[in-house]
Chains A and B, each alone.
Chain A
Amino acid sequence: MTLLTLEDVGKSYGAVQALSNVSFQVGPGEIVGLMGDNGAGKSTLVKIIAGVFRQSEGTMRFQDKEVHFHAPVDARKAGIEVVHQDLAIADNLSAAANIFLGRELHRRIAGFRWLDHAAMAKRSGELFNELKSETRPGELVRRMSGGQRQAVAIARTRLADAKLILMDEPTAAISVRQIAEVLALILRLRDAGIAVLLISHRMPDVFDVCDRVVVLRRGRLVANKAIASSSPQEVTGLITGALETA
């Protein structure tokens, strides 16, 4: 079984052809690195898989069934969670409120559904512990460091029983120690049987944790290789175009 299959996926924003003929697969529990220069189309691809946009061409299959996501909720229902490049969290809310945004826990009092603050704080605390992140559930995101924000965005993906987690540059703009934490976390997700599509500009990230690397250049897939049979030099060449394909 393959988890995710893309076949000839393309996307245009008006006159801009951001993606064309992208085909690759992600297996269950596999960590795939997605690399490419600025504007190569990585975020666009993530947003298509996550149901934020529809592709203009091509088909997408999840667990061997063709899927048409009309909204992020559809992708989430199928078992796909995302950490967006700009994290998509609300600064003016607490960590716990962000984690549960759109799927709050409730309890019934006098016939009405009220937010269950205690349960959400408790679950958030557990998630942060699991992620070994030093983040308080009640803290406002506005007061948090980049690594803590990242932890909030990642903790969100752990609420449901996800099968595939898309991470758009989770290690950009955080400290070296925090990068190590995020990478360790990705390995732990894999151990739990969760597949990860990791977008990164950092070669060491990809070579540390990924099983395979997929390279996009100007919207086209130019490589899809096992990490074991590639090298940072080769991938750099593929990204810049010094190497045509591999």
Chain B
Amino acid sequence: MWRETVMLALASIAQNRLRAFLTTLGIIFGVMAVIAVVAIVQGVFYVYTSQLEGLGAGFMFVVSGNPEAEEKIRQSSWVTADDGVLVEREVDGVLAVSPYFFDRRKLTLRGQSADAIIMPTTERYPDIQNHYVEEGRFFTALELRTRARVVVIGPDLAQQLGLMRAVGEQVRLYGVPFTVIGVMEQKNGINALGQPFDQAAIIPHSTALTFSSPMRGGMLLIKLDEVDDVDRVKEEVRRAMRRGHRLGVGEPDDFQIITQSDLIESVGKITGIATWVVLAIVGVALLVGGIGIMNIMLVSVTERTREIGIRMAVGARRQDILAQFLVEASLLGLIGGLIGIAIGYGVSWIVTLVVPEFPPPHVPAWAIVLGFVFSASIGLIFGMYPAARAARLDPIEALRYE
């Protein structure tokens, strides 16, 4: 019986393909928007979390400035490498601190040039970031102290320069020669400053300071000994920083300490907002799509009054007629949902391809299941009234209907 009902509904939809398509536009758009938003948000979230995981659990950032402070903060009070040294020396439970900022420059090799993200840091970087060299070596503490002109480049950069064996080559950066001493391993994605890992040219922090001053975006990347000690370490880092920046009692912090839980919270806020946006779209789509289906099903019931009479005359029960129209309405919704999922996925890919460095979309299974359930239930709910009207028809009057 169910098999016939579904076949019947499909045949009836197939007879009026264009109408079915127009009817389900509301649902198509709704589901499409849901899937696209979810795919994009989840894509960003996915990249972000994998990056957080890449850093390891116990870490925090110290960034310049404090958006929460009401008074104006001195412009000169940037977070510097010296702050890093201070924090590493004074705070218990800190494993390593690396200053961290970036600078976009051209890197050239025998006339070939490539865009490099210059990442000045210390020799502690590989351990802190869980990111190691593939070939050659990282620079040493000695090289950091002596402002050596050495560079470790990302694999994409090596490739753009057409280097098969990069180690030992002389490249030009800031107009002076640097020796390539290593190539980092492939690590897709972006770092905490939003820059692609594999495009980086990592140089000693001290060396970088001779060419450019750390911008406002400079920060400290702190790796902790213990994961469960975060709150205490955060407070101690804060005290050390205040001492280092000579802040008096009552003066606001001129820096901000961001822990992993702060980050997760802010990611949660973004996804929370996105969820509300999705819910709003869902609400509108529900109304538009549902009313579209109800309207067309009412038309369909009227057009098929005689058919309903015939079916009743040969033994269809009221519930059989009800089921027939409910299944048809649900299938309309479901087909709309299917098209919506496909288009939504396509749209999120287009966004990824058009916007540079945008992470690929990620559609979780729950979103697809949700899309299906949502579109089918809209069909079901808004199909109820037309189906009930069909089932209530009097067989004789239905047969007599012209």
Task: State whether these chains interact.
Answer: no
